[in-house]
Chains A and B, each alone.
Chain A
C-alpha cells in the first residue's frame, strides 16, 4: 500500500463548481500535512498547510481527519486557473520539510 494515496482523476468540472479531493495516508505517525499544486510541466508549489482544526484560504478549505487518516481539499467557485494537479503531502515532522512524502496527485480540469 502506498504511504499517501490519491485518486488520480482527472476531475472535470465546469467553472463555478465546487470540487473536493481526498487523500489517505498510512503512517499514523504523520504530523504535518500539506497540499501542493503543480501546473503542467512545472515545479510543485505549496498551496496550503492543513491544520488539525481545518483551515480556509479564500476559496480553498483543507480538513484533516486523524482518526481515519485522511485529508481533504475543497475548492469553491472553481476558476479556469485552478486547473492543475493537486499533490497531497505528509511528513512525520513538525516545522520541517524533511521526509516529505508526496501522493501521485489528483488532476483537476476546470472548463467553461
Chain B
C-alpha cells in the first residue's frame, strides 16, 4: 500500500522561485493536511482540507497556497520562495472518526 505519497523528496530553490509540492493518498481519506517541521518548533499546520472542495488556513499559511484537486490530491504552492521557507514539509491525511493522521515521507526544501 502506497499510503501518502509526496513529491519531490528534496528540492533546492533560489529566492523568488516558485514551486508546487504534490501529495496524493490512496486511503480514500476525506481530510488532508500540509505541515512544516523546523528544529525546535515542532510540526506546524500550514493548510488543511477537511473534504474535497474545501481548504482552510492553519497556523502558518503566509507565503503558501493550496489546491485540493480531487479527493486524492492536495498540493502546496510556494509562489515566491523565501529563505524562511527552508524546512521539511509533510503532507498527511486522515479518515472520518479517527484522530490518526498518516504522513508522507516529507519534502526537504532549501531556499537559498
Could you list which residues of chain A lie within 8 angstroms of chain B, going by C-beta atoms?
A: 4, 8, 32, 34, 41-46, 49, 87, 91, 93-100, 102-105
Contact = CB atoms under 8 A, between A and B. Distances in A.
A21 B41 CA distance: 18
A8 B90 CA distance: 21
B99 A34 contact: yes
A93 B98 CA distance: 10
Contacts of B101: 44, 46, 97, 100
Interface string B11-27: 00000000000000000
Contacts of B105: 42-43
Interface residues of B, number: 24
B103 interface: yes
Interface stretch (B42-50, B62-70, B75-83): B42-50
Given A43-B105, A45-B103, A46-B101, A97 B94 contact: yes
B53 interface: no
Give chain A's interface secondary structure class.
loop
B90 A44 contact: yes
Contacts, number: 63
B103 A43 contact: yes
A105 B39 CA distance: 10
Contacts of B92: 97
Instruction: Pick from B33, B90, B94, B103 the residue with the most CB of A within 10 Å.
Output: B103
Contact of B42 (A34, A96, A104): A104
Interface string B24-61: 00000001010100001111110010100000000000
A34 B100 CA distance: 9
Given A44-B43, A102-B43, A96 B106 contact: no
